[in-house]
Amino acid sequence: MASQVFDVEPIPCLRDNYAYLIHERGGEDAFVVDPSEAAPIAAALRERRLRLRGILATHHHPDHVGGIAELAGGGDVWVAGHADDRGRIPRQTIFLEAPRGSFVPAGVTVAGRALMGMHIPGHTRAAIAWGLAASGGGAPTDVFTGDTLFAGGCGRLFEGTPEQMFASLRSITALPPPTRLWFGHEYTANNLRFAAAVEPDSPPIADRLAHLPACTTPTTVALELATNPFVRAGSVEELASRRSAKDSF
Ligand code: ZN
Ligand code: FE
């Protein structure tokens, strides 16, 4: 996109986690999503001569917040999470009471973009999708989905119900088709093998599986609508049975 003046860089962490470094071209300020561990983020900041200003947590699991305490240090770095994750996200300073179904402004900017949040329970009870929108408003063009929506898959239901996951996936994929979705784990190959077992005659799934790069993030709303068996589930019951089948796949 020619008008894009900010970068989102996936930073591989732990075994298969992605943290995301966000910065404005030519600027010094940086923001990070879901830093599982501090070292890879600190190294990326040093190499690019960036200063960390804010941290976004999609949910409280250790493989998403493990690096926050060290990265936030004693400095003036804000830490944003859903209000209902209070006490579960280290050093949290922004407690967004984001609703289900639509994005609301978080009141801060990230690389010149307006930060917005939407509650997406299912994987955890306080999971939040973070969106970056043009500063003038409108739908976010880039959304961080944590462990709720993966490329070709969805997270396990640790603290939520199939109803909640169904509604959360619907809310995310109701965004415009080109919306970029940046997710929490590189599980895509396995997810698409499951998708191919669910829909063996689907050309889009077979084609996606045959042309997978090593790093598959970001995906798009359009691609998930065409290939993700959980997004494509026609009912809560169908999502629930696919989720249990996937647990033992
Ligand atoms: Zn998780
Ligand atoms: Fe995770």
- CB hemisphere CA count around 150 (13 angstroms): 22
What's the 157 CA to ligand 1 centre distance in angstroms?
Answer: 10
Asked if residue 105 has pLDDT above 50, the reply is yes
The mean predicted confidence, pLDDT, of the chain is 96
Asked if residue 149 has pLDDT above 70, the reply is yes
What's the 63 CA to ligand 2 centre distance in angstroms?
Answer: 5
DSSP state, 175? Answer: S
Q: According to DSSP H, which parts of 95-249 are helical?
A: 162-173, 188-198, 203-210, 221-227, 236-247
Percent of the chain with pLDDT over 90: 95
Helix-, strand-, coil-residue percentages of the chain, each rounded to 5: 30, 30, 40
Percent of the chain with pLDDT over 70: 98
What's the 147 CA to ligand 1 centre distance in angstroms?
Answer: 5
What's the 148 CA to ligand 2 centre distance in angstroms?
Answer: 9
What's the 30 CA to ligand 2 centre distance in angstroms?
Answer: 22
What's the 146 CA to ligand 1 centre distance in angstroms?
Answer: 7
Residue range 54-68, pLDDT digits in tens: 999 999 999 999 999
Asked if residue 224 has pLDDT above 50, the reply is yes
Asked if residue 74 has pLDDT above 90, the reply is no
CB atoms within 10 A of CB 52: 20
Can you tell me the mean pLDDT for 45-49? 97
Domain assignments of the chain as residue spans, ordered by start: 6-247
Neighbours of ion ligand 2 (CB under 5 A): 63, 147, 184
Cα distances from 188 to residues 47, 66, 95, in angstroms, run 29, 23, 31
CA 34 and chain centroid, separation: 9
What's the 64 CA to ligand 2 centre distance in angstroms?
Answer: 6
pLDDT at site 2 = 39
Among all bound ligands, the one having the nearest atom to the CA of 36 is 2
Among all bound ligands, the one having the nearest atom to the CA of 88 is 1
Query: What whole-number distance in Å separates Cα of residue 237 and Cα of residue 7?
Result: 39
Under the banding of pLDDT at 50, 70 and 90, the label for residue 1 is very low
Residue range 168-212, pLDDT digits in tens: 999 999 999 999 999 999 999 999 999 999 999 999 999 999 999
pLDDT at site 4 = 65
What's the 183 CA to ligand 1 centre distance in angstroms?
Answer: 11
CATH architecture, range 6-247? 4-Layer Sandwich (3.60)
Among all bound ligands, the one having the nearest atom to the CA of 127 is 1
**30-139-173 Cα angle (round to 5):** 105
Q: What is the reported pTM?
A: 0.97
Which residue's structure tokens are 């093998």?
Answer: 193
- Residue in 146, 94, 103 with CA at minimum distance from that of residue 125: 146
Beta strands, E only, the chain? 6-13, 17-24, 29-33, 51-56, 78-82, 94-96, 104-110, 113-119, 128-133, 142-146, 149-150, 153-154, 180-183, 219-220
What's the 113 CA to ligand 2 centre distance in angstroms?
Answer: 25
CA 181 and chain centroid, separation: 7
Write down how long the chain is. 249
Query: What whole-number distance in Å separates Cα of residue 158 and Cα of residue 147?
Result: 11
